[in-house]
Amino acid sequence: MASIGIVGTGFVADYYMRSLATVPEVTVVGAWDIDRDRLHAFRKYWRVPAAASLDDLIGRRPDLILNLTNPGSHYAVSLACLEAGLPVYSEKPLATRLDDARHLHRIATERGVMLASAPCSALGESAQTVWKALRERVIGTPRLVYAEIDDGFLIRAPHTTWRSESGAPWPVQDELAVGCALQHAGYYLTWLIAMFGSVTRVASASADVLGLTLADGSAAAPTYACASLFFESGMVARLTCSVVAPHDHSLRIFGDEGILEVAECWSNESAVRVRRRHVVRRRLIDSPLTRRLRIKTPTHAKVRRKGVTAMNFALGPQEMLAARAEGRASRLDADLALHLTEVALAIQTAGNATGHQVIASRAGAVAPMPWALV
């Protein structure tokens, strides 16, 4: 039986608890939050023990810490846990400053302590199906990727009414302070890095097109960002994020022999389809019909849809615990977490004059899931 400690019991923590229910070999030995009322509600709803402090939770020596705090606290909490010798799986972003992310990476590497960050959907069924299709050259040679993560016109959405399963309010101030790219670009970045390798260069532009002011009077982070990503493998991708344009979480990979399409990155079961091209009366057309691709072997536990997501948030923690038990490297590791953070920050902070940025970090090769190799 593996043990997990949870730091931060806000909105996203409920997604993790619902997902951990699919992993009977894992137990939560304690949860802690600086908001005592929130901690009490979380403890009561999920029937998990509450820790008296972060030090108390660390002292229980869980096999893995889930850092689910607000983004501004990710660095400090992860650092404290790593320095205590505890492996950490952090919610995204790993840190809000690149220097802090590099520091966490250095501490984890020097001390030989596992470190990874969300999202983990690259380990999910949809992402692995896309990757399998690429390996099998279903669309021939892939040439270009279009990835969209648009979340609708957020400021007009009824977000003040959004509550998690145990009653936590949706953290709108965190979302606007951190920014759409740093918060959400990772959902497709992790897929693309796993499939095509590290990003070497980013050409991006970003802006707060809504002109928002946060509750503390400071300006909001960019509400729009668009980047061209250049990969070590030669692949090129365009990634767009916003909280302005209508909801669109689609992925298209254009190859010599067709197009791979996914409609939604927030579902582990989103259909993966291939669309062929045909010549009709001297015109090249994309077929109006598609064929769904499936992995025929059992994949992973699924979590019922809650709100806008149907993802198993436990796939990442489960991978880290399995890697530790088996004495192997984790598919999600510190190198990937740092690289993801550096690329997302390059997209987010580009503004309108940064232009081309060179990415210094590199992610190691990520192995496909065993059930996707059959």
pLDDT range class, residue 206, cuts 50, 70, 90: very high
Same domain, 30 and 159: no
Same domain, 167 and 104: no
Q: DSSP assignment, residue 87?
A: -
Same domain, 64 and 200: no
In 3-state terms, what secondary structure has residue 8?
coil
In this prediction, residue 342 carries a pLDDT of: 98
Section 43-61 average pLDDT: 98
Same domain, 202 and 264: yes
* CATH number, residue 368: 3.30.360.10
Tell me, yes or no, whether 325 lies in a domain: no
| The length of the chain, given as a count of residues | 374
Same domain, 35 and 156: no
Cis amide leading into 49 (omega within 30): no
Tell me, yes or no, whether 319 lies in a domain: no
pLDDT range class, residue 55, cuts 50, 70, 90: very high
Tell me, yes or no, whether 327 lies in a domain: no
Q: What percent of the chain has pLDDT over 70?
A: 100
Count structural domains, the chain. Answer: 2
Tell me, yes or no, whether 321 lies in a domain: no
Tell me, yes or no, whether 324 lies in a domain: no
Same domain, 161 and 75: no
Tell me, yes or no, whether 220 lies in a domain: yes
Same domain, 103 and 129: no
pTM: 0.96
pLDDT digits (tens, 9 = 90+) for 123-149: 999 999 999 999 999 999 999 999 999
Residue 167 exposure: Cα atoms within 13 Å on the Cβ side: 10
In this prediction, residue 352 carries a pLDDT of: 84
**Which value, to the nearest 10 degrees, does the dihedral of the CA atoms of residues 211, 214, 218, 220 take?**
-50
Same domain, 19 and 158: no
Q: Which of 70, 85, 117 is the last residue of a domain?
A: 117
Q: Taking 80 as the threshold, does the pLDDT of residue 87 lie above it?
A: yes
Please answer whether residues 196 and 365 qualify as being in contact, where contact means their C-beta atoms are separated by less than 8 angstroms. no
pLDDT digits (tens, 9 = 90+) for 294-341: 999 999 999 988 777 899 999 999 999 999 999 999 999 999 999 999
Tell me, yes or no, whether 312 lies in a domain: no
pLDDT range class, residue 257, cuts 50, 70, 90: very high
Same domain, 228 and 280: yes
Same domain, 137 and 98: no
Please answer whether residues 4 and 20 qualify as being in contact, where contact means their C-beta atoms are separated by less than 8 angstroms. yes
Please answer whether residues 121 and 315 qualify as being in contact, where contact means their C-beta atoms are separated by less than 8 angstroms. yes
Q: Which of 63, 89, 117 is the last residue of a domain?
A: 117
Tell me, yes or no, whether 320 lies in a domain: no
Q: Taking 90 as the threshold, does the pLDDT of residue 176 lie above it?
A: yes
Nearest to 320 by CA among 118, 162, 148: 118
User: Per mean pLDDT, which range of 81-90, 113-122, 296-305 is the poorest?
Assistant: 296-305
Q: Taking 80 as the threshold, does the pLDDT of residue 216 lie above it?
A: yes
Same domain, 140 and 194: yes
Its domain, for residue 184, covers 121-302+332-372
Same domain, 139 and 84: no
* CATH number, residue 34: 3.40.50.720
Q: Which of 88, 117, 146 is the last residue of a domain?
A: 117
The contacts found for 160-163 with CB under 8 angstroms, 24 or more apart, are 162/11, 162/307
